[in-house]
Amino acid sequence: MADFLLELSKNPQARKLVQTLGLPLPMPEPLQRPRGPRGDRPLADRAVTLRTAESTLTPHVADALARAGASVTAVGTAAALDGLGDVGEAFGRRPIRTDLEALGGSKARVLVFDASDFAAIDDLDRLWEFFNPLLGGLARCGRIVVVGRPADQAPTAAAAAARNALDGFVRSLAKEVGKRGAGANLLIVEDGAEDRVAGPLRFLASERAAYVSGQPLRVSARAKAAPAAPETRPLDGKTAVVTGAARGIGRATARALADEGAHVICLDRPEDASAVAQLARELRGSPLAVDLLAPDAIDAITAAARERGGIDVIVHNAGITRDKTLLRMKREAWDLCLDVNLTAVAAITAALSDAKLLRANARVVCLSSIGGIAGNMGQTNYAAAKAGIIGLVRSLAPQLAKRGVTINAVAPGFIETRMTAAMPAGVREVARRLNNLGQGGLPVDVAEAVAFLALPSSDGVTGQVLRVCGGALVGA
């Protein structure tokens, strides 16, 4: 069922009438989402205001923005942009240096604040000094990215306090700008991982992160660096497996990976063999009808992987719910939910790794859920499984890193799927509003996050949980 208020808000006259009459109706801003595969210049012609810092990170941030085609106006340390003129001219325009006073009421599509030089609590004043005069000019559906260093690696208690303060600042700022369809996120970059910031920054600063808001994402050099790959069709020649590919998030994910050049093995239950075969034909991939709980499931998956000479991406998307309060839940419902959502994920990943069918620099992406972070009434089985996914990802990350293999989880919030359409209307309506953006997400929003984590340029992100929830007002 369509979101009535979101559809209403797309009509300028209706939106103006609701605002004029002062009706107590939330009018969410329709999100701007990208279409088609990634390109070399995702920020082409986008006005980006960058706050530079006296740090080794600023040149990498500025370079990434310039290469993405952004029109960068920088305030702060002028020396940070030395040598970037040619890069900016080649991919967009030369970065412009200015000061906050000169910017006045100028407008920007993206605001990027490099806080990697924060070393004392007083440094937090710079957040107000930068954002206070510029937020009014942030475009609708704009993006904000704050870049900082890990608090747990700070040299002093004061530096740790300043660094950790960024988390609360960004989460709160995301709530303030959400009514305009805008998002704010925190990029935490470890020392030594500066050269891996480009991929995550391009994602968070673009429309591909339209439903990602109020989230921290950590970048490290834990995994072996991936070979350089083109920004256009970076998965050309690579093989991806998507479980639960027949519909919803799985279907959107298979399409997103195929758009980036991957040969996608579309896996789903034998009952959905027709749908998955049709999808595979459309994507020029391969169908694989397998029940994940069948005794020969792992053999079938490893055989398909071996036939392709190994795989480069596996997305553990298949999942089920069997909702009942624990008091009323039958043991069969408990077992089935845990087996599909967690046990099968662990077993398949282990089998592919042990058989060396995960190629060097492969990407493993597991679907968790906000339910695994915040819990849900009547979902003790599901929440346990999805929280277990997070533990699995964090544990396996260092083990897989030596071969450059990364493993991450994506935790969707309320996504408009066949499953959520079956909810009672009142519950569904409330769930749509309980986030910064005041609306449900779409399967493509989750697919975009998964595709980002599947790219070679995400080699700095591993052992992380990326929430795609619009900044849900529940959970951490």
Report phi then psi at 272, rounded to 5.
Answer: -110, 25
Residues 6+ apart with CB under 8 A from 121: 158, 161, 162, 165
* Cα–Cα dist 430/451, whole Å: 29
Pairing of strands 239-243, 263-268: parallel
Radius of gyration of the chain (CA): 22
Contact 50, 65 (CB under 8 A): yes
Contact 286, 254 (CB under 8 A): no
* CA-CA-CA-CA dihedral for 455, 456, 457, 458, to nearest 10: 70
Strand stretches in 3-106, DSSP E: 47-51, 71-75, 96-98
Encoded tokens for 175: 């709530």
Encoded tokens for 49: 């205001």
For residue 473, which of 346, 344, 335, 373 has the smallest C-alpha distance? 373
Distances (CA, A) of 26 to 7, 9, 17, 96, 428: 12, 9, 13, 39, 15
Report phi then psi at 114, rounded to 5.
Answer: -90, 105
* CA-CA-CA-CA dihedral for 185, 189, 195, 199, to nearest 10: -30
Contact 68, 205 (CB under 8 A): yes
Q: Annotated active-site positions, please?
A: 382
Distance of CA 140 to the CA centre of its chain: 20
* Cα–Cα dist 211/229, whole Å: 26
